[in-house]
């Protein structure tokens, strides 16, 4: 299967907001990477229904299940291909802050989409988010990428609620791991 490097840029109102989001988003992305690995392992467990495998996957990865937009299970899709393109984060993901901007990049399946990853950054306060794949890097696609970088529609109250819920889920996960 082909791979491509995806790049995301998320602009926050200020450095403090970007730093606050960095830790939480990093934890969520690690859960997404774990979810991707488990999804690869359970795809061919055909003795269990798609619904059973999907529910187990979501229960084992509550941060991914809560904060990423994922498609509903499709019983006719026995190999769970409906998740292809939605869990495109690996454990090699790089996430860092420079001023009030978070940058993310990872090498993943080349036909994936990071629309749901961009939405994740907006949920934690990014005012503008855009992403691009290195397969698309040419003048026309760079213009397209700038156009795609659209303002967030998540209000301040919802951002704070997302932080509170994510931090509680992360704390619970760490407590259970001990």
Residue 154: CB partners within 8 Å, gap ≥ 6? Answer: 122, 123, 125, 162
**Least confident residue range of 33-42, 70-79, 136-145:** 136-145
**Cα Rg, the chain, nearest whole Å:** 17
How high does pLDDT run on average in the chain? 87
In tens, the pLDDT along 13-48 reads: 999 999 999 999 999 999 999 999 999 999 999 999
pLDDT exceeding 90 applies to what percent of the chain? 65
Least confident range of 32-36, 95-99, 151-155 = 151-155
pLDDT of 136 reads 72
């Amino acid at each position: 299967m082909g791979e491509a490097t995806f790049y995301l840029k998320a602009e926050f109102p200020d450095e403090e907001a970007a730093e606050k989001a960095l830790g939480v988003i990093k934890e969520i992305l690690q859960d997404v990477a774990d979810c991707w690995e488990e999804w690869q392992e359970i795809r061919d467990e055909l003795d269990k229904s798609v619904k059973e495998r999907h529910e187990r996957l979501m229960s084992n990865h509550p941060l991914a299940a809560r904060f990423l937009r994922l498609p509903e299970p499709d019983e006719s899709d026995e190999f769970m291909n409906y998740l292809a393109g939605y869990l495109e984060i690996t454990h090699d993901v790089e996430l860092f802050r420079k001023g009030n901007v978070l940058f993310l990049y990872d090498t993943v399946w080349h036909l994936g989409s990071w629309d749901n990853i961009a939405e994740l950054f907006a949920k934690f306060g990014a005012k503008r988010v855009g992403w691009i794949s290195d397969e698309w890097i040419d003048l026309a696609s760079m213009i397209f990428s700038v156009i795609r970088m659209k303002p967030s529609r998540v209000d301040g109250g919802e951002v704070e609620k997302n932080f509170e819920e994510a931090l509680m889920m992360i704390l619970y996960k760490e407590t259970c791991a001990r």
